Structure 1
């Protein structure tokens, strides 16, 4: 598409997304990899929360790739995503005046990949993952700290990844790249496909 140049240029949306994230890493004050993650409950009521994107996977072709974050599978988002098998998110960078929107299909990331990421986290974060019954009622901060002390005694200085904690991979069916334009005449390009195995179709959208 000749109209698609500059920051929108390229034939692989995952490469473009990674380039934009790399640019944001140089300009955003905090958490350039923060995403607003949306899921729906059994009644179709949406839920949105901020999480950290940990990897943009890139394959051999522009059709291969995904976005990965990690969570407690028993959390509200974990249960909702397991039920629906779908999720969406947006990354927005004020410093760049850009955003990326993604909608797609979800699957768990477990085994060596999840183990390696868990091992890379700080010890306190790993123990916190064991201690927190995420999204469940908590009587007090003291009760949480007591649980941290308990799991520290149980798991020691090198805790393994909890069986209820791991990654979620979002394989996109739609990716939109948005950049701010003067007088709200923004630039928007959307990549769409019917399935994870289909070729991408690219369109410019009205702002």
Structure 2
């Protein structure tokens, strides 16, 4: 896949670029600030954007705000955000705007190369990839509503893992249950959240947004 990479740390940027290239990906641009990131996406129209959150020009949340701008301007590229922190406000905006093809991974996970590459593959395929800590902190900023309190502990586990962006098969593997059991739990979740008859929208996405309080 064709990737635009944005990271202000030269060491990490070059390391990620080499890792991605070694995996057979084409890093079409590797930039150090948010303005260059937007320009590079406009020029190259990549398959995926990988961006840090805190970078120049203000060294605050420029990378995440650039990701929001990219999502508004260009519907094509998937976006994988890397950060040492969970920026709740902008992370929630990214998911609420359009949750397919979006990921938010903490930089500690980059040290676990397989997890990082798995997240990259999932967002490139149009799925969601959220670090479990991101899900936890987004949840801590919300108050659970009555429909969520009706879920069983296992249903809550399934919905939490859905929020992290895993497929039914991956959820079954992680929770050590059969895929048919996962499908039954998901159908029960849809019923309890009042989504069984929802049309025109992805019930899976609506359930995850409900879980995150959006």
Is TM-score (shorter-chain normalized) higher than 0.5? no
- Per residue, is there more helix in 1 or in 2? 2
Determine which structure has more spread, i.e. the larger CA radius of gyration: 1
Pick 1 or 2: higher relative contact order, CA cutoff 8 A, min separation 6. 1
- Larger fraction in strand: 1
